[in-house]
């Protein structure tokens, strides 16, 4: 019987190779853009360490976080200006930090599968790169969790990274960063389906609804909300009671057609920039639209200046989420140089186990590695034959969503897109960032169980 090698075992084997390459005489050089902590001072320091995070009254989560806080420190940096980030790992396990959504070299990207080294316990590592493109990015651990639902993205290892554009539109009065996360994961479900990760608590900016400071606004302000879903596996719906929100950007990229929404949906790793006009004074709840998830803590109070009282929630009208209204309805004008068909399927492992995932019939690390030629345009023609939705993510590149469920579209630039169960989707990207490039589902239970593949440049 052939035993499947999982992502952790593959990573461990690869780590040995990388460690060998970094043996005496082959020291990583900061000048190369990556390596051990250099003597020059870092622009940002991140300390990975265990944390007892108090998310609510008498609710303390044992987790691992950056700089003793969840989310980690926000990083705001001008586009293209070199940045040096020293990451010290005080946890018991090897770690790695992925700079999600940025066009940076593979060795800096923070994915072991691309060749970025893991940070051993007790070690410090420097990441050096030029942040780009401008917009709302984020950083997070890219380590394996598998059945350990207190590792990887189940922890508090995430933070916002805003790459400032050279010219800021500035059509807002206040910016607020919001991070959604779910805590205390356990294997549940089963029955007719396979196991999934279920959670006890949810938080926004590390606090349950009713705990922590409220968001403070003033009447008449235009507030830009940068919302990140940092959940390991759950999609979330968010609404601000008493207010509509205009979606102006997705995954940090301006949408062709901003839309006013009563509620918005974010898959794991997706970001939305939402412009809200504060014209309904009061004390409101911004939170999950589903009561059970709000009751589990996913919400935050928004308070107008001079207003007091109990925070109010109002259910938004029934809302369906669709990317298409935010994009151009016309087909993309440029045909790809190559279409790469990708078929997503699951392999049943029992009602008491997570599924295994395949791309074109193979699970990572046995998935095919596809070679790209720099300068060419590629189309990923994805067919999801499984019963789960998949927020797929392409590292180190931005793609354009060109087709959803057989209907063409254009102009919507993203780095994560949901391919719904039983449907098709297509995204185009330009191969203009040479190096190993990881493609995977951003659900931790999927990426850890086979849903990954690599692109390499010729």
Partner 1 sequence: MFEGLLVAACWMGLSATVAAQNNYEIQVYGSDTVAPQSTMVELHSNFTMEGTKPLPGSVYAADRMFPTNHAEHETVEITNGINNWSEVGFYIFTAERSGQGVQWVGDHIRPRVRAPDSWHWPVGVSLSLEFGYQRRVFSTDTWTLEIRPIIDKQTGRWYLAFNPAMDRSFHGESVNQGVTFAPAAKVSYDFNRVVSGGLEYYADYGTIFNPDTLHNQQQQFFPAIDLNVSPQWEINFGVGLGPTAGTDRWIVKGILGRHFDWKRRPVAGSSDSAQ
Q: Residues in the site for partner 1, rule: CB under 8 A? A: 184, 186, 188-198, 200, 233-235, 237, 239, 262-263, 265, 267, 289-290, 292-293, 315-316, 318-321, 348-353, 388-390, 418, 420-421, 443
H-helix segments, 106-239: 106-109
Q: Which is nearer to partner 1, 137 or 393 (CB)?
A: 393
Least Å from the CB of residue 421 to partner 1: 8
Shortest spacing between CB 262 and partner 1, in angstroms: 8
For residues 297 and 336, which CB has a smaller minimum distance to partner 1 in the complex?
297
Residue among 108 and 270 whose Cβ is closer to partner 1: 270
- What does the alpha-carbon distance between residue 16 and residue 435 come to, in Å, rounded to a whole number? 20
User: In terms of CB distance, is 137 or 271 closer to partner 1?
Assistant: 271
Nearer to partner 1 among residue 149 and residue 248 (C-beta):
149
Closest distance of CB 314 from partner 1, Å = 12
CB of 451 to partner 1, least distance (A): 12
Provide the minimum distance between the beta carbon of 348 and partner 1 in the complex, in angstroms, as a whole number. 4
Q: Evaluate whether 289 touches 239 at the Cβ level (below 8 Å).
A: yes
Q: Answer yes or no: are the C-beta atoms of 187 and 164 closer than 8 Å.
A: no
Three-state secondary-structure class, residue 113: helix
Say if strands 135-141 and 390-394 run parallel, antiparallel, or are unpaired: unpaired
Q: What is the smallest separation between the CB atom of 357 and partner 1, expressed in angstroms?
A: 12
Q: How many residues does the chain have?
A: 458
CB of 203 to partner 1, least distance (A): 16
Task: Determine how β-strand 356-359 pairs with β-strand 370-372.
Answer: unpaired
Least distance (Å) from partner 1 to the CB of residue 233? 6
Q: Which is nearer to partner 1, 22 or 198 (CB)?
A: 198
| 321 Cα distance to chain centroid | 19
If the CB atoms of residues 114 and 388 are measured against partner 1, the closer one turns out to be 388
What order of strands is seen across the sheet that includes strand 124-129?
A: 34-36, 124-129, 83-89, 44-56, 59-66
Which residues, including other chains, have CB under 8 Å from residue 325's CB and lie 6 or more apart? 257, 259
**Least distance to partner 1, CB of residue 443, Å:** 6
Nearer to partner 1 by C-beta: 103 or 357? 357
DSSP per-residue letters across 354-382 = PPEEEETTB-TTSSPPEEE-TT-EEEEEE
Q: Which of 110, 316 has the CB closer to partner 1? A: 316
Rounded Cα distance, 14 and 245, in Å: 45
Give every CB contact of residue 282 below 8 A, 6+ residues apart in sequence: 242, 304, 307, 309, 312
Instruction: At 277, list the tokens.
Output: 């006009």
Beta strands 75-78 and 97-100: pairing type?
Answer: unpaired
Task: Report yes or no: 437 and 112 within 8 Å, Cβ to Cβ.
Answer: no
Q: What is the token pair recorded at 241?
A: 């009671």
CB nearer to partner 1: pick between 78 and 325: 325
Q: At closest approach, how far in Å is the CB of 316 from partner 1?
A: 6
Residue in the block written with tokens 């980690």: 72
């Amino acid at each position: 019987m052939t035993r499947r090698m999982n992502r952790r075992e593959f990573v461990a084997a690869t780590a040995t190779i990388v460690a060998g390459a970094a043996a005496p005489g082959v020291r990583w050089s900061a000048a190369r853009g990556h390596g051990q902590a250099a003597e020059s001072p870092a622009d940002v320091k991140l300390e990975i360490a265990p944390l007892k995070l108090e998310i609510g009254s008498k609710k303390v989560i044992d987790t691992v976080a950056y700089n003793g806080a969840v989310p980690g420190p926000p990083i705001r940096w001008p586009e293209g200006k070199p940045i040096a980030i020293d990451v010290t790992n005080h946890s018991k396990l090897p770690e790695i930090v992925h700079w999600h959504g940025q066009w940076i070299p593979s060795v800096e990207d923070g994915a072991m599968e691309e060749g970025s080294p893991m940070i051993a316990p007790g070690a410090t590592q420097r990441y050096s790169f030029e942040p780009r493109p401008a917009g709302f990015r984020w950083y997070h651990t890219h380590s394996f969790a598998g059945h350990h639902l207190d590792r990887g993205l189940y922890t508090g290892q995430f933070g916002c990274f805003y790459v400032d554009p050279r010219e800021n539109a500035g059509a807002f009065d206040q910016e607020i960063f919001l991070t959604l996360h779910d805590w205390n994961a356990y294997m549940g479900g089963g029955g007719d389906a396979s196991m999934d990760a279920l959670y006890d608590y949810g938080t926004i900016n590390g606090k349950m609804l009713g705990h922590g400071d409220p968001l403070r606004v003033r009447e008449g302000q235009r507030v830009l909300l940068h919302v990140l879903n940092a959940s390991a596996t759950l999609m979330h719906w968010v609404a601000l009671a008493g207010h509509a929100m205009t979606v102006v950007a997705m995954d940090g990229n301006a949408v062709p057609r901003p839309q006013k929404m009563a509620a918005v949906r974010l898959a794991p790793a997706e970001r939305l920039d939402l412009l809200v006009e504060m014209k309904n004074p009061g004390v409101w709840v911004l939170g999950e639209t589903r009561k059970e998830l709000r009751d589990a803590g996913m919400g935050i109070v928004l308070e107008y200046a001079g207003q007091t009282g109990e925070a109010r929630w109002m259910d938004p009208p029934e809302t369906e989420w669709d990317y298409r209204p935010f994009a151009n309805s016309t087909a993309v004008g440029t045909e790809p140089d190559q279409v790469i068909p990708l078929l997503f399927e699951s392999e049943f492992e029992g009602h008491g186990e997570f599924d295994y995932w395949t791309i074109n019939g193979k699970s990572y690390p046995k998935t095919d590695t596809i070679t790209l030629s720099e300068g060419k345009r590629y189309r990923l023609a994805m067919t999801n034959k499984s019963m789960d939705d998949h927020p797929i993510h392409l590292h180190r590149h931005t793609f354009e969503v060109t087709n959803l469920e057989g209907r063409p579209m254009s102009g919507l630039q993203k780095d994560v897109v949901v391919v719904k169960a039983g449907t098709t989707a297509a995204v185009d990207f330009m191969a203009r960032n040479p190096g190993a490039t990881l493609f995977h589902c951003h659900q931790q239970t999927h990426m850890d169980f086979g849903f990954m593949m690599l692109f390499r440049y010729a």
